[in-house]
Structure 1
Amino acid sequence: MSLEGLPYGSTLGPGRWHLPPASGLPVVYAASSRALAQLEKRVHANGVAPVKQALIRLELPLGAIILDAHNDLALESPRWRLDEGYTQGVGVDWLQSTASLGLWVPSVVEPQERNLLINPAHPQYTSIAVVKETLNFEFDPRSF
C-alpha cells in the first residue's frame, strides 16, 4: 500500500505550513507518535469526537533526505507559533525546493513534539510504504 491516491488534509484548505489548495503545493502531515496524532486530530475536530479512524505508519525509503527545522523554529521567538503567514512561508519555500522528501517541524499544539511534513512532489514520495496499524485508533469521549 502506498500514499498515492489517499486524500490528505492540505487539499481541504490552508494550514499551518501550507497555502490553500489552489496554490498547487499539497503536503502530507504526519505526527511523530500515536499520542501526538491523537492530540493533533483533537485540535482539528471542532469538539466532535472522530469516529472510524485508522492509524497508519509510514515507512520512508532508505536514504530519503529528511530535513529538520524543529529545533531552529522551536528556539526562535514565538513568531513561528503566532504568525501562520510565517510558517506557511517556511513550508512553501521547502515544498518548492523539493530538496528533501520530508521536513521535521514543531507541533504548534505541543512545541516539544514534532510533525513530519512530506512533499508529494518529491520523486521518492511514491516509494513511501503505508502500513495500517492493527490496534484500534479510538478517542476517549471525555476529551471532547
Structure 2
Amino acid sequence: MQTAWRIVHQNHISGAFSGEGARLGGGRWNSEGFAIVYAAESLSLALFEIIVHLEFKAALKLYKAIPVNYPETIVEILDPSTLPEGWNTPHPHPSTLLTGNHWIRQGSSAILQVPSAIVPIESNLLINPVHPDFQALEIGDPIDLPLDPRVLEKLK
C-alpha cells in the first residue's frame, strides 16, 4: 500500500473524498461537472499545493490533513511527456482539463497519477470517487497540519 495526502478545510471534512468541490468549481485536471478528488504523494506537496491557492495564509490553521492508503494496482500513470508546453501555467490549461475529463469519462482507473504543476518532478493523484476500485482506498483520520510556526510567519 502507498500513502497519499489530502488537505481540506475543517468545514469540509465529511465530504473530503466526494469530489464535490472540484465538481462545482473545476480544477487543473477537471472541468466543472466532473467530480475528482485531488491528493498528493506527500504531505509536503499537498501543503504546497494548498499554499499557492490560499489568499490568506493564516487560514492554514483551519485545514486538516487526511492520509489515504491505496494499492498501486489501481493507479494509472500519466506520461508527463504527453503534455504540451505550458500545461503548468497558473490557470488550468485546456490539455489538462481534457485529460482529466477524458479519464473520468473512461473510468479506466480509480487513481490517475499526474505531475504537479508546482513541482513537476513530483506527483499529484486524481481520485475518481465513483470508480468501483475507490472502495480499495483506506481513508485515515484527519489530523492537524504539523506546521512549524515559522511557515505561517514567512507566508504573510
Q: What interval of TM-score do these two structures reach, taking the shorter chain for normalisation?
A: 0.7 to 0.9
Could you report, residue by residue, the CA deviation over 1:67-126 in whole angstroms, capped at 9, with x for unpaired residues? 1115434xx442322461110000011111111111110111111111000111201213
Q: Which residue of 1 aligns with 2:6?
A: none
Higher relative contact order (CA 8 A, sep 6+): 1
More strand by share: 2
Q: Cα 1:56–1:11, aligned 2, differ >3 Å: closer, same or farther? A: same
Are 1:26 and 2:35 counterparts?
yes
Counting matched residue pairs gives: 136
Q: State the identity as a percent.
A: 28
Q: How far apart, CA to CA, are the structure 1 residues paired with 2:42 and 2:104?
A: 23
Q: Which residue of 1 aligns with 2:67?
A: 57
Name the TM-score, length of structure 2 as normaliser: 0.74
- What amino acid is the match of 1:43? V
Out of 134, 140, 151, the position equivalent to 1:125 is 134
Q: How far apart, CA to CA, are the structure 1 residues paired with 2:119 and 2:50?
A: 13
Q: Which residue of 1 aligns with 2:7?
A: none
Q: How far apart, CA to CA, are the structure 1 residues paired with 2:56 and 2:24?
A: 18
Moved more, 98-107 or 125-134: 125-134
Aligned partners of 1:67 and 1:103 also within 8 Å: yes
The correspondence of residues 1-144 of structure 1 with structure 2, limited to 5 A, is: 6-7=15-16, 8=19, 9-20=21-32, 23=33, 25-49=34-58, 50-60=60-70, 62=71, 64-73=73-82, 76-82=83-89, 84-132=93-141, 136-138=145-147, 140-141=151-152, 142-144=154-156
More helix by share: 2
Q: CA RMSD in A?
A: 2.6
Moved more, 7-16 or 29-38: 7-16
Q: How far apart, CA to CA, are the structure 1 residues paired with 2:24 and 2:49?
A: 16
Aligned partners of 1:53 and 1:137 also within 8 Å: no
Q: Cα 1:52–1:79, aligned 2, differ >3 Å: closer, same or farther? A: closer
Q: How far apart, CA to CA, are the structure 2 residues paired with 1:68 and 1:119?
A: 14
Unaligned runs of 5+ in 2: 1-13
| 1:117 counterpart SS class | strand
